[in-house]
Structure 1
């Protein structure tokens, strides 16, 4: 159930983000949602009396925060403001499991079975098929490059967070990471436009959703999934996000769904199922047999 809730919340960030960036500068959205998130997460961590990160752990979390918050959301939301469809942004960004798996395997941090490699490969093929439809065509090279920058931030941040052996509390970690993104955005946002949030229903409602669901609940759920399942397996949930985003974009944003989109989403679903299968452990039977013999 946590995985399903995470997919729905993460998908909503692209759709609501498109609504928000339609009426205000994208980095303004990021700046103020990070301010809200740091205050809220810090208060929660204090009430729960969680241990706070120190020393190398503090700096490690700050670096991850720059990648996962400033780089990812700054790039993706700028792409949305440049006219990139929400479904396309989600498609590209959520191909990050391939980068996470490839980098983790290359560095010797994680081993993947052929079945999971096939699943990840199918997921990427499904993304490419969907992008070949009219719903996925980038409006400009700049929009595509901003999306790829956001993809790089998400993939690298996920990979490094999976390797982190933190002793601090999860909410305290989220506070530090978001604060690091806030510091970058405080320098970046004033250079890109006005910092005022328009007094319109669309601006206020979309910002409120992004501040609570997008900046607090969804990232904490992702970090929890990474700790429980590992970076690669947790990130494969992102393969389901584009499908949900495309379906939601149709009635909310008026983005049409073509036949290739449906085919691509089916391929993604099969890839997700394969990539998330638990690996069989050949030694389990031997271990159980040893325990039985010792008991006798």
Structure 2
């Protein structure tokens, strides 16, 4: 990836890292618990409207649009919000969700024929070692069920990554908006079934400012901006070059959770975070073939 796309990928990681704190705040405003599936539905109403009236349908099949909507949006966030509502800490959620890195590379190898280089594979292994260190340090405070649900969310995200990569939509933003239209009705319907009509309509009639601001942040910055850039990067580069940048997400997420929510990282978490950064550098700072290309790429990165 060139320097511009590298910086865009880092910016997306920052937006997504902050996203976990925003979700936690929106789910647990003072004196209220917002039904998680309903909250996801609200988020994607804001993603879709009014943008869908101004953005063309991407030049991909309806199957791809529905697939991305079901896996990258409804599946990932429905499960993530549910896990956080059940007690998964925001910082730890940002970490565990990055299991999607390995899962995406595995699925891309199986379905797209993409094979990561040894350097990329080594970087992912190093990053996963960092994830393991942090997860071990937090395992005592993470209930098993929310942990399993976040892993399921990671698998859903990975499947969505592969579908988006195969679709190669020219407009990443268009894919976000049009695939987002798949989300609100099914998740709102599930919330009516799971939480009950009374809880749903009471929440809608008493939305608090933190929940509204959280929904706006997650819709505009995490979805429209973040996934708009992300889908374009996946359409332009192999998954194994793009996906490792998400290893930065838990570093941002855990730092933000520390500052905003008081989730103080332990020694293992700090150590694991440093390993994650090392893994990202190893996996994504791959150079072109030949020494001359390697030197030029290295100089470009240093100048940036």
- The answer to whether the 8 Å contact 1:92/1:147 transfers is yes
Name the SS of the counterpart of 2:53 in structure 1: helix
Is 1:215 aligned with 2:219?
no
Residues 261, 208 of structure 1: alpha-carbon distance in 2 compared, 3 angstrom cutoff = same
User: Cα deviations across residues 231-266 of structure 1 (Å, max 9, x unaligned)?
Assistant: 222111110000111111012111011111111011
| CA distance in structure 2 between the partners assigned to 1:36 and 1:115 by the alignment | 40
- The answer to whether the 8 Å contact 1:41/1:216 transfers is no
Aligned to 1:253: 261
- The answer to whether the 8 Å contact 1:133/1:261 transfers is yes
| CA distance in structure 1 between the partners assigned to 2:194 and 2:28 by the alignment | 15
Q: Give the alignment's TM-score, normalised by structure 1.
A: 0.86
Aligned to 1:9: 15
Aligned to 2:277: 269
Is 1:36 aligned with 2:25?
no
Q: Give the alignment's TM-score, normalised by structure 2.
A: 0.84
How large is the Cα RMSD of the aligned pairs?
2.2
Segments of 4+ in structure 1 off by > 6 A? none
| CA distance in structure 2 between the partners assigned to 1:64 and 1:91 by the alignment | 22
Structure (1 or 2) with the larger CA radius of gyration = 1
- The answer to whether the 8 Å contact 1:66/1:184 transfers is no
Q: 1:186 aligns with which of 185, 188, 193?
A: 188
User: Cα deviations across residues 105-124 of structure 1 (Å, max 9, x unaligned)?
Assistant: 24462122211111001111
| CA distance in structure 2 between the partners assigned to 1:60 and 1:112 by the alignment | 24
Q: 1:21 aligns with which of 20, 23, 27?
A: 27
| CA distance in structure 2 between the partners assigned to 1:173 and 1:246 by the alignment | 29
Residues 80, 192 of structure 1: alpha-carbon distance in 2 compared, 3 angstrom cutoff = same
| 5+ long unaligned stretches in structure 2 | 1-6, 294-304
Aligned to 2:154: 151
Give the CA deviation at 1:215.
2.8
Q: 2:142 aligns with which of 118, 139, 148?
A: 139
- The answer to whether the 8 Å contact 2:43/2:215 transfers is yes
Give the CA deviation at 1:28.
1.6
- The answer to whether the 8 Å contact 1:65/1:181 transfers is yes
Aligned to 1:76: 80
Name the SS of the counterpart of 1:238 in structure 2: helix
| CA distance in structure 1 between the partners assigned to 2:112 and 2:64 by the alignment | 20
| CA distance in structure 2 between the partners assigned to 1:279 and 1:217 by the alignment | 28
Give the CA deviation at 1:225.
1.8
User: Cα deviations across residues 167-222 of structure 1 (Å, max 9, x unaligned)?
Assistant: x6433322221011224313222223233343423222222222222232211121
Count, aligned residues: 277
**Which region of structure 1 is more displaced relative to structure 2, 1-10 or 244-253?**
1-10
